[in-house]
Structure 1
Amino acid sequence: MSHHMDLGRRGENAAAGYLAGMGWRILDRNWRCSEGEIDIVAHDGRGPVVCEVKTRRSAAYGDPLEAITGAKAVRLRRLAWRWAAEHGVPAAPVRVDVLGLVAVGDGFSIDHLREVC
Structure 2
Amino acid sequence: MGAKDRVGRAGEQLAREWLTRQGLQILDANWRCPIGELDIVALDGDELAFVEVKTRTSTAFGHPAESITRAKLARLRRLAGAWVAVHDVHASGMRIDVVAILRRSGEPTLVEHVQGVG
Relative to the length of structure 2, the TM-score reads 0.91
Computed over aligned residues only, the root mean square deviation of the Cα atoms, in angstroms, reads 1.7
> How far apart in 2 are the matches of 1:51 and 1:107?
22
Unpaired runs of 5+ residues, structure 1, are none
Query: CA shift at 1:89, angstroms?
Result: 3.8
Unaligned runs of 5+ in 2: none
1:109 aligns with 2:106: no
CA deviation vs aligned residue, 1:53-82 (integer Å, no higher than 9, x gap): 011011122001110001110110110111
Match of 1:10 in 2: 10
Q: How many residues are aligned here?
A: 117
Aligned residue runs from structure 1 range 1-117, under 5 A: 1-89=1-89, 93-104=93-104, 105=106, 108-117=109-118
State percent identity of aligned pairs: 46
1:88–1:27 distance in 2 versus 1, CA, 3 Å: same
1-side partners of 2:44 and 2:108: how far apart? 23
TM-score (norm 1): 0.92
Q: Distance in 2 between matches of 1:101 and 1:70?
A: 20
